[in-house]
A = this chain, B = another copy of it.
Amino acid sequence: MSKESGLNAPHFSTKQRILDSAESLFAIHGFAGASLRQVTASAQVNLAAVNYHFGSKENLINEVFRRRLDSLNEERLAALAAVLNQPRFGLEDVLGAFVRPALALSMAEDGGAGFVRVLARAFAEHNERLRKFLHDNYSHVLKQFASAFAQVLPHLDKQELYWRLDIVSGALTYAMADFGVIKRRADMSERQHRDLAAEHLIKFAAAGLKSA
């Protein structure tokens, strides 16, 4: 295992290859556990390239998040806007706007699956700098969804709603990171598997959120 098998074709840019390798290695070994030497070896670039292009390891971590979260949260907000524009919509619609884009990412042909595991790690870590970065860049997304949830769950007071949204987001993060025992059945395509997963997650979360 001395060569770490450079997975990235060398015709992509240095920055992109570093991001790809960092993402998958962070998913496996964590932020502290994956070294820049592992990352640069996997990306087949020079060790100094990380500090040249990203400044520091800390900033590399941020950029790994930014690359995926910018588009992911755009998709979520677009999906939410489409829901809110409908004449009638319910809890399952709002949940779908949050879940489906993330689940699509977690099953994308590129490294999206690894990224969702990285995302789950970010929740597990209580790293202040990372939390501040995520809050600074994406808190408006959570705000809009919280407001939408409050709209479709008018019988819950604010305290109760937060309780349940907290549990839901934990469950969804966990499930989308593909922790645990769920395996795709052999008679299903990836697409079918993803749709089934979304269906399960939404139904499950909706049941918990709605219950008296």
The proximity string for A residues 164-186 relative to B, scoring 1 for CB distances below 8 Å and 0 otherwise, is 10111111011101011110010
Stoichiometry, as copies per complex, reads 2
CA distance A125 to B181 in the complex (A): 15
Q: In A107-153, which residues have CB < 8 Å from any B CB?
A: 117, 120-121, 123-126
Q: A62-79: which residues lie under 8 A (CB-CB) from chain B?
A: none
Contact bitstring A50-70, B, C-beta under 8 A = 1, else 0: 000000000000000000000
How far apart sit A33 and B177, CA to CA, in the bound complex (Å)? 22
Check if A85 is an interface residue, CB within 8 A of chain B: no
Interface pick from A6-14, A15-23, A204-212: A204-212
Point out the residues of chain B lying under 8 angstroms from A84, CB to CB.
none
Across the interface, A201 reaches (CB within 8 A) one of B167, B201, B206, namely B167
Which residues of the other chain, B, contact A29 by a CB distance below 8 angstroms?
Answer: 32
Report chain B residues within 8 Å CB of A126. Answer: 28, 117
Contact B179–A163 (Cβ < 8 Å): no
Interface presence of A30 (CB below 8 A): yes
Complex Cα distance A123/B201, Å? Answer: 19
